[in-house]
Amino acid sequence: MTSTIGMIEPGRPDPADRADGMAVVCRGVTKTYGSGSSAVRALRGVDLEVRLGEMMMLVGPSGCGKTSLISVIAGVLDRDGGECSVFGEDFARMKSARRTLFRGRTIGFVFQAFNLIPTLTIAENVAVPLLINGSSMAAAVRQARAILGEVGLGDRWTDPPARLSGGQQQRVAIARALVHHPRLIVCDEPTSALDHATGEKIMEILRSTAVGTDRSLVVVTHDSRIFQFADRIARMDDGMIVGISGADGTP
């Protein structure tokens, strides 16, 4: 696919994507940190496909390469080898500025530690992706307030993040990931800092608000209690995908 950023309307899949139905396609992706005797091979030829409209979970023990893979998929880390495309676009073939632009419009992020800027209100935090994409502050905050309402925090939009519980902060982070209608959302351990009940609630919100026919989620986790929310689960070990199954364990 040779579509350019400017031709893709945010939130709308390119027809070519519908044709093959894939949001992410990785083939033989490798990544090594360091060199010589201290080299660590984080990814050893990963093959992975994430379909449009599905929630894919990457699971596995610590150090198995989950975070490296999600970083490569999100275009924040350069791979050493293999192929990886997101909606038909390969980050490795983009210039830096185009890559940044593509990431800003196409991908939403949910982080383990929320990464909300403490000196901003939660509405301003949510508005950040829109500001990055050129919206005015007033318009961005207006949209942010609307989506905060969708995650149940519509009345708290003037609060700073510090006044919210961990679960509420993660809801803000989800709102921030969704506000600019990205087509792929990557979540890094979204429930690991939360208790079980809150974690379940967060996953319910993610499931209900983030997953859609035009949008896919890749969730890195080692929290087995949330596996039930996945459409498919890719198990990783030692830098490779060792198996992909449905949430119920069916291959």
Partner 1 sequence: MYRIALKMLFGDAARFFGIVMGVTLACFVISQQGAIFIGIMNRTTALITDMGYPDIWVMDPKVQYIDDVKPLQETELYRVRGVEGVGWASRLYKGMIRARLEDGTFQNCNLLGIEDSTLVGGPPGMVAGSLAELRRADAVIVDSVGASTRLARRPSGGSGRPVPLALGDILELNDKRGIVVGISRNTRTFQSQPTVYTTYTRALTFAPRERKSLSFVLVGAKPGEDLRALCRRITERTGLAAYTRDQFRWVTIGYYLKNTGIPINFGLAVSLGLLIGTVITGFMFYNFTLDNLRYLGTLKAMGAGDSTLLWMILLQAVVVGILGFGIGLGLASLVGWQNRNSPLAFSMPWQLVLVAGAAVVVICMLSAMLSMRRVVVLEPAVVFK
Q: Which of 177, 218, 178, 182 minimizes the C-alpha distance to 71?
A: 218
Contact pick of 87, 109, 227, 229 for partner 1 (by CB under 8 A)? 109
Contact pick of 132, 146, 193, 244 for partner 1 (by CB under 8 A)? 132
Per CB under 8 A, which region of 19-27, 48-56, 111-119, 239-247 contacts partner 1? 111-119
Residue 244 touching partner 1 (CB under 8 A): no
Instruction: Find tokens 């999600």 and name the residue.
Output: 70
- Give the CB-side neighbour count of residue 137, counting CA atoms within 13 A: 3
Residue 192 touching partner 1 (CB under 8 A): no
* 3-state per-residue secondary structure call for 38-56: HCEEEEEEEEEEEECCCEE
User: Residues 157-176: x/- map of binding to partner 1 (CB under 8 A)?
Assistant: --------------------
Residue 128 touching partner 1 (CB under 8 A): yes
Helices (H), the chain: 15-20, 66-74, 96-106, 122-132, 137-150, 166-178, 196-205
Q: Are 155 and 163 in contact (CB under 8 A)?
A: no
Residue 103 touching partner 1 (CB under 8 A): yes
Contacting positions for partner 1 (CB under 8 A): 67, 70-71, 74, 76-77, 96-97, 100-101, 103-105, 107, 109, 111-113, 115, 117-120, 124, 128-129, 131-133, 137, 188
